[in-house]
């Protein structure tokens, strides 16, 4: 597809932006976030030197199946805004994202967040899922672990991990590699922008459990879609 058609396709995918945005206090007072402007930043970057988000995250926020970059499509705008601001302030550390976030103004941040909220995009399935691993992950996600004294993930991350907007991001359909990586970052204290919460939980999980939970969540959406397509719920 030409770049222009990509842009138009993206714009067409953006819905009227209302709802969650009231919580995104961000920007210049009284300004409504502008998803169309967000799309431009995602596609082209900014004059201040922020590269296009699309370079890593793809224009539709699906990134790629490697899981090196998180899926952003449909993520809560409040959450994306908080992460970008935390990258900019250093509250969240990332050699890649920090300079990018610093180059974005607060209005830019609001705009790209709003853009990604409204993007509808496919969920890439888990390649070669290990059924036992996924089952173990499902148990941790829906029930928790009595021996480890860990509550289930869905308590906070929403039904099937679909997120509890505005503050808690979806995990359903997020890349297993990225989830596992992030849990390791929480465990080792390199990521710490969720007070007394994710660090605590990650420290209770062992490597096997992290892999299980990550695998489970990546396949939630695509598995559900397949089941619905076959007429079973």
Partner 1 sequence: MAETLKPVDAVTIGVGLTGSLAALEMVQSGLKVVGLERGIARDTVPDFQSPAIHDELRFSIRKAMMQDNVKVAVTFRNNSSETALPIRRWESFLPGQGLGGSFVHWNGQSFRAQVADFVLRTHLIQRYGQKFLESCGPELTIQDWGVTYDELEPYYDRFEYLLGVSGKAGNIKGQIQPGGNPFEAPRAREYPNPPLKETYFGAIFRKGAESLGYHPYPQPSSNLSRPYTNPLGLRLEQCVFCGFCERYACEHYAKASPQTVVLPVLLKNPNYELRTSCEVLRINLDSTGKQATGVTYVDGAGREFEQPAEMVFITAFPLNNVRTLLLSGIGKPYDPTNGEGVVGRNYSYQTTGGPTVFMDESININPFMSSGAPGTMIDDFSGDNFDHSNLGFIGGQYVGSIMTGGRPIEFHPTPPGTPAWGLEWKRAVARHYNHTILIQQHGTSMPSRRNYLDLDPTYKDAWGQPLLRMTFDFPENDIRMSQYIAGKVVEIGRAMDGKIVVRGGTKRPYTTTVYQSTHNCGGAVMGDDPKTSVVNRYLQCWDVPNVFSLGAAAFPHNITYNYSVTIGAVTLWALDAIKNKYLKSPGPLVHA
Partner 2 sequence: MTEVSRRTLIKATGAIGAAILPAGPAFGTANAAKPSGATPAATSSICAAAAAATTYVFFNSEEAAFIEAAVARLIPADEEWSGALEACVPNYIDKQLGGAWGAGERLYRGGPWQPGTPSQGYQLPYTPAELFRTALGAINKELSHTPFTKMSPDEQDSFLKKLEAGGKDLGGVPSDVFFAHLWESTLEGFFSDPVYGGNCNMVSWRMIGFPGAYASYYDLIDQHGIKLDRAPMSLAEDAHGHVHLNPGIPARSP
Residue numbers at the binding site for partner 2 (CB under 8 A):
12-13, 15-23, 74, 76-77, 117-118, 120, 122, 155-156, 158-168, 170, 172, 195, 197, 220-221, 224-225, 228, 233
| Closest to 103 in 3D by CA, of 47, 56, 50 | 50
* Residue choice 159, 190, 226, 228 for contact with partner 1 (CB under 8 A): 159
Stretch that binds partner 1, among 39-47, 122-130, 145-153, 213-221 (CB under 8 A): 145-153
**Residue 219, token pair as written in the block:** 């396949």
How far apart (Å, rounded) are the C-alpha atoms in residues 77 and 209?
29
Q: Which does 200 bind (CB under 5 to 8 A by kind): partner 2, partner 1, none?
A: partner 1
Are 116 and 72 contacting, i.e. CB atoms less than 8 angstroms apart?
A: yes
What is the number of alpha carbons within 13 Å of residue 210 lying toward its C-beta? 20
Are 140 and 61 contacting, i.e. CB atoms less than 8 angstroms apart?
A: no
For tokens 């890649």, name the residue.
Answer: 96
* Residue choice 25, 32, 188, 197 for contact with partner 1 (CB under 8 A): 197
- C-alpha angle 71/72/75, rounded to 5°? 120
When the beta carbons of 41 and 153 are compared against partner 1, the nearer one is 153
- CA 28, distance to chain mean position in Å, is 25
* Nearest distance in Å: CB 158, partner 2: 5
Q: Which does 145 bind (CB under 5 to 8 A by kind): partner 2, partner 1, none?
A: partner 1
Residues 6+ apart with CB under 8 A from 222: 123, 124, 125, 126, 173
Q: Which does 189 bind (CB under 5 to 8 A by kind): partner 2, partner 1, none?
A: none
When asked if residue 179 is in the footprint of partner 1 (CB under 8 A), the reply is no
Stretch that binds partner 1, among 35-43, 66-74, 152-160, 218-226 (CB under 8 A): 152-160
For tokens 């009595």, name the residue.
Answer: 146
When asked if residue 144 is in the footprint of partner 1 (CB under 8 A), the reply is yes
114 to 143: interface string for partner 1, x by CB under 8 A: -----------------------------x
How far apart (Å, rounded) are the C-alpha atoms in residues 115 and 130?
34
When asked if residue 55 is in the footprint of partner 1 (CB under 8 A), the reply is no
- State the residues that interact with partner 1 by CB under 8 A: 143-146, 149-152, 154-156, 159, 195-197, 200
């Amino acid at each position: 597809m030409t770049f222009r058609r990509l842009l138009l396709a993206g714009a067409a995918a953006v819905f009227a932006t209302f709802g969650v945005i009231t919580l995104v206090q961000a920007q210049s007072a009284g300004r409504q976030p502008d998803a169309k402007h967000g799309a431009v930043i995602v596609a082209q970057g900014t004059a201040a030197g922020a590269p296009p988000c699309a370079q890593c995250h793809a224009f539709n926020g699906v990134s790629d199946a490697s899981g090196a970059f998180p899926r952003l499509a449909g993520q809560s705008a409040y959450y994306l805004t908080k992460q970008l601001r935390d990258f900019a302030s250093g509250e969240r550390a990332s050699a890649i994202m920090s300079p990018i976030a610093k180059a974005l103004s607060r209005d830019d941040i609001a705009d790209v967040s709003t853009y990604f909220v409204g993007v509808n995009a496919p969920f890439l399935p888990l390649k070669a899922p290990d059924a036992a691993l996924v089952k173990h992950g499902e148990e941790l996600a829906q029930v928790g672990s009595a021996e480890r004294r860990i509550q289930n993930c869905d308590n906070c991350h929403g039904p099937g991990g679909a997120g509890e907007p505005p503050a808690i991001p979806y995990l359903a359909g997020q890349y297993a590699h990225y989830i596992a990586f992030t849990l390791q970052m929480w465990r080792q204290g390199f990521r710490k922008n969720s007070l007394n919460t994710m660090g605590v939980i990650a420290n209770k999980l062992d490597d096997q459990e992290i892999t299980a939970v990550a695998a489970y969540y990546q396949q939630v959406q695509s598995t559900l879609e397949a089941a619905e397509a076959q007429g079973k719920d």
